[in-house]
Amino acid sequence: MDQQHTGRFEVQVEEDVPRGGLYQLEQRTWYRVVDRSSRQVVMTFQGQVEASLSPDSGMWEDSRGYGVRDVTIALDERSVLVWYYDGRKEMALLPP
């Protein structure tokens, strides 16, 4: 599990075991915002990547992402920045 540390909160990143059929790949990623003092998860976000294996080149192609692509603690440490695969970006307030 990858972790980003900063102040009171941290973002823990957990990637699921890749799965899918012989020519398909699916992998989910969870982003958990954790209060470092209480160890409680205060927010959870999820993203997923899918790809197909090309029978011609043997390479993963047609990669598609859904949901959340990245989560970081904002510099003010009062909010998190959330980036989505579709290009959106939003801010969510952290608890006081």
Domain boundaries defined on the chain = 2-93
What would the two tokens of residue 4 be?
């980003």
With a cut of 60, say whether residue 5 has pLDDT above it: no
92, 43 contact by CB (below 8 A): yes
CB atoms within 10 A of CB 56: 7
DSSP string, 34-59: EETTT--EEEEEEEEEEEEE-TTT-S
Confidence band (pLDDT; 50, 70, 90) for 4?
Answer: low
Amino acid at 67: G
Averaged pLDDT for residues 4-30 = 87
pTM: 0.84
